[in-house]
A and B are shown apart, each in its own frame.
Chain A
Amino acid sequence: MTIYVFRRLLWMAPSLFIVFTLTFLVVHATPGSPWDEREKPLSEAVKANLNKQYHLDDPLPKQYFDYLGNVLHGDLGPSYRSVERSVSEIIAATLPVSVQLGVASLLFAIVVGVPLGALAAVKHNTWIDYTASLVTVTGIATPAFVRVSLLIVVLSLGLALLPTGGWEGIFDVRAIIPILAIGSGPAAILARYTRSSLLEVLGQDYIRTAHAKGVRPNAIIAAHAMKNALIPVVTVAGVTLGNVITGAFFVERIYGVPGIGRQFIDSVTGRDYTLLLGTVMVFALLIMVVNLLTDISYGYLDPRIRYR
């Protein structure tokens, strides 16, 4: 197991390197420069000076290796748009916000999604199951920007319960709509997996045995069935993380949350290529770490799985 984890960690370095190189090449193959303003064109001399200042006039291989060296030292370079903050500083300021929001959304997803799926499986083929599956399909089908729009309309404009935007930390009421909007996607995924997994477990012989020896039905669900049903649910952690990240792109922008997802979108629309590169690297690292943690925890939870 230790060897397995160690090898996976070793593999992460070349994977990140490939992501870095590909993104770097795509970004540099993109024509136009960050200084192309449609409204206020800069003079050629100013552009040349800017290019010199940011070393954009160096040959591409030199730019690549200089930049790679800087990244290895934790310096992701200057942001083309933001004068006062470097990319590393922007990420350091915005990533914690998004991590708080993401963790809260995932907690919401677990607290709501797993019981919803379990309830649907236990009340299989009743109106409870059908209602739960309608909720689940809605959560899976609708993208986050539609969910957050409708939540704002209902909760902020219609019922006037919550503000229409802003961010005052994760424990403020302003965090509720972003958490609901981002978390409902993963919640639906978890509910669907929990339902089908629990249905399968409930058909097993040892469940019938437990019934036969007179264990109370609720105890069977809680102690025998859920324990085994939840093991395969762990494998969707990667899918739910992807859902949270892409959800954050839209929700943070729409609701005005100063997180890294909004920085990514702003970097795309504002052609801030160093910021784009930096945020993509952060997402890639996050995804790899979570996938590794998923595989490790799966190995612990299910002793039948042996990693070599």
Chain B
Amino acid sequence: MTTVDRGFAPLAPPRAAPSVAPRRERGLWRDAWYRLTRNRAAVVGLVFVVLLLLIALFASALAPYSFDRQDLDSTDLAPSGAHLMGTDGLGRDLLSRMMYGSRISLAVALVDVAIVLLVGVPLGLIAGFFGRWIDTLIMRTVDILLAFPSLLLVIVVITYLRAVLDQGEGPLLGVLGSLDKASGGLLGVFVALGLVSWLTVARLVRGQVLSLKEKEFVEAARMVGATNVRVMTRHLLPNSLAPIIVAATFGIPLAIAAEAGLSFLGLGVRPPYPSWGILIAEGLRNMRAFPHELVFPAVILAITLICFNFLGDGLRDALDPKLRVD
């Protein structure tokens, strides 16, 4: 600081700047990561999710057998060294089927996140930013769809989709039908889940945008001539990112559970593709004589869903300390 001599004596000699130890800069993300790794449950969840991801990616190399290799000489075996989780009624290795099944669950998770980001976030941004009739249109749709338990909607929609895709008439439906068959019924599951998975995030992003767009930094961006698209993508979106990540994480277990439920009912993935839901349905049929065929898939599905919830809780606490109740 320089003192300008205006002909007055200074009241006090200029003070030396107080010596403060320079504080190491920590960005938002680094800070969040630090808090996340301090949360034991979240770390457990994260480790499990990463493990599952690796198993799904390398299932063909890791699985001891193929998921549909039948061995009618060794059906319904209890867990042993050769078959760590035993075998099912057709002599298929349960561990291998669980490993390949994780691919289905994680594919559902991935598609769910993609729909949240590509449909839910843009619609929420648009509704909150432009307001008026477009807001009314989007949010009333969200309200109506959210009024019902999502699984009820999903089941009604997938019943329709299954019939349409099976019929497969016309060029477009024919292609979609064969795609659905090639994916073992996954396409229908994606579409049905896609109908409901964007709803909560759209509502959340809209709420964020409504409060953010009145803030000074948005006004400042406008003053220097930022376009609508720029304000939305460079200012509103980055500032809503934390709650979006949290909501997307909590959406994943819901989607995985919904797929398992649909496949359990015979409306989702088709045999022989080993969706965990199908494995549980098969396990229930054999549970009296061979309970391990039910216990392994049911427990592992439960652990997976719990771990995603742990991770979601951890992310929420890490990304927005203000939200913490405790």
Chain A residues in the interface with B (C-beta under 8 A) = 23, 26-27, 29-32, 124-125, 137-138, 140-143, 145-146, 149-150, 152-153, 157-158, 164, 195-196, 199-200, 242-243, 245-246, 249-250, 253-254, 264-265, 268-269, 271, 276, 280, 283-284, 287, 291
Is B149 engaged at the interface, CB distance under 8 Å to the other chain?
yes
Q: Would you call B164 and A269 a contact (CB within 8 A)?
A: no
Q: Would you call B163 and A32 a contact (CB within 8 A)?
A: yes
Is B233 engaged at the interface, CB distance under 8 Å to the other chain?
no
Q: Would you call A268 and B155 a contact (CB within 8 A)?
A: yes
Q: Which of A23, A125, A141, A271 has the most CB of B within 10 A?
A: A141
The main secondary structure of chain B at its interface with chain A is: helix
With a cutoff of 8 Å between Cβ atoms, the chain B residues found around residue A200 in the complex are 325
What is the distance, in angstroms, from B299's C-beta to the closest C-beta of chain A?
7
What is the distance, in angstroms, from B275's C-beta to the closest C-beta of chain A?
13
What range describes how many residues of B lie at the interface?
Answer: 35 or more
Q: Would you call A196 and B267 a contact (CB within 8 A)?
A: no
Given A146-B298, A153-B291, also A280-B159 (CB < 8 A): no
Is B274 engaged at the interface, CB distance under 8 Å to the other chain?
no
Q: Would you call A146 and B280 a contact (CB within 8 A)?
A: yes
What is the distance, in angstroms, from B145's C-beta to the closest C-beta of chain A?
11
Q: Would you call B148 and A150 a contact (CB within 8 A)?
A: no
Contact of A280 among B152, B169, B253, B310 (CB under 8 A): B152
With a cutoff of 8 Å between Cβ atoms, the chain A residues found around residue B302 in the complex are 138, 141-142, 146, 150
Q: Would you call A142 and B147 a contact (CB within 8 A)?
A: no
With a cutoff of 8 Å between Cβ atoms, the chain B residues found around residue A268 in the complex are 155-156, 159, 265, 267
Q: Would you call B265 and A265 a contact (CB within 8 A)?
A: yes
With a cutoff of 8 Å between Cβ atoms, the chain A residues found around residue B291 in the complex are 153, 157-158
Q: Would you call A143 and B159 a contact (CB within 8 A)?
A: no
- Residue contacts A-B, CB under 8 angstroms, 6 given: A142-B305, A143-B261, A164-B288, A196-B325, A250-B265, A269-B265
Given A157-B288, A265-B155, output 17 extra A-B contacts at Cβ < 8 Å: A26-B156, A30-B159, A31-B164, A31-B169, A124-B326, A141-B253, A141-B309, A142-B257, A143-B257, A143-B261, A145-B260, A149-B284, A149-B294, A150-B298, A245-B149, A283-B149, A284-B148
The CA-CA distance from A10 to B287 in the complex, in Å, is 50
Q: Which of B149, B155, B283 has the most CB of A within 10 A?
A: B149
With a cutoff of 8 Å between Cβ atoms, the chain B residues found around residue A164 in the complex are 287-288
Contact of B149 among A124, A149, A242, A254 (CB under 8 A): A242
With a cutoff of 8 Å between Cβ atoms, the chain B residues found around residue A142 in the complex are 257, 301-302, 305-306
Is B160 engaged at the interface, CB distance under 8 Å to the other chain?
yes
With a cutoff of 8 Å between Cβ atoms, the chain A residues found around residue B190 in the complex are none
The CA-CA distance from A30 to B161 in the complex, in Å, is 8
With a cutoff of 8 Å between Cβ atoms, the chain A residues found around residue B295 in the complex are 150, 153
Chain B residues in the interface with A (C-beta under 8 A) = 147-149, 151-152, 155-157, 159-160, 163-164, 166-167, 169, 253, 257, 260-261, 264-267, 280, 283-284, 287-288, 291, 294-295, 298-299, 301-302, 305-306, 308-310, 313, 325-326
With a cutoff of 8 Å between Cβ atoms, the chain B residues found around residue A137 in the complex are 306, 309-310, 313
Given A145-B280, A149-B284, A284-B148, also A26-B160 (CB < 8 A): yes
What is the distance, in angstroms, from B26's C-beta to the closest C-beta of chain A?
25
The CA-CA distance from A200 to B326 in the complex, in Å, is 9
What is the distance, in angstroms, from B190's C-beta to the closest C-beta of chain A?
18
Contact of A153 among B164, B265, B294, B306 (CB under 8 A): B294
What is the distance, in angstroms, from A113's C-beta to the closest C-beta of chain B?
17
The CA-CA distance from A94 to B159 in the complex, in Å, is 22
With a cutoff of 8 Å between Cβ atoms, the chain B residues found around residue A140 in the complex are 309
With a cutoff of 8 Å between Cβ atoms, the chain A residues found around residue B288 in the complex are 157, 164
With a cutoff of 8 Å between Cβ atoms, the chain A residues found around residue B266 in the complex are 269
Q: Would you call B152 and A246 a contact (CB within 8 A)?
A: yes
With a cutoff of 8 Å between Cβ atoms, the chain B residues found around residue A196 in the complex are 325
Q: Would you call B160 and A29 a contact (CB within 8 A)?
A: yes
5 residue pairs, one from A and one from B, having the closest CB atoms: A242-B149, A141-B305, A246-B151, A143-B257, A141-B309
With a cutoff of 8 Å between Cβ atoms, the chain B residues found around residue A145 in the complex are 260-261, 264, 280
The CA-CA distance from A291 to B159 in the complex, in Å, is 27
The CA-CA distance from A11 to B294 in the complex, in Å, is 46
Q: Would you call A242 and B148 a contact (CB within 8 A)?
A: yes
The CA-CA distance from A246 to B167 in the complex, in Å, is 29
With a cutoff of 8 Å between Cβ atoms, the chain B residues found around residue A153 in the complex are 287, 291, 294-295, 298
Q: Would you call B260 and A143 a contact (CB within 8 A)?
A: yes
Contact of A199 among B160, B164, B287, B325 (CB under 8 A): B325
With a cutoff of 8 Å between Cβ atoms, the chain A residues found around residue B294 in the complex are 149, 153
The CA-CA distance from A195 to B324 in the complex, in Å, is 13
Given A145-B261, A157-B291, also A243-B326 (CB < 8 A): no
The CA-CA distance from A248 to B272 in the complex, in Å, is 27
Contact of B156 among A124, A146, A150, A280 (CB under 8 A): A280
What is the distance, in angstroms, from B242's C-beta to the closest C-beta of chain A?
19
Closest to A253 in B: B265
The CA-CA distance from A140 to B178 in the complex, in Å, is 36
What is the distance, in angstroms, from B136's C-beta to the closest C-beta of chain A?
16
What is the distance, in angstroms, from B140's C-beta to the closest C-beta of chain A?
11
Q: Would you call A141 and B308 a contact (CB within 8 A)?
A: yes
With a cutoff of 8 Å between Cβ atoms, the chain A residues found around residue B301 in the complex are 142, 146
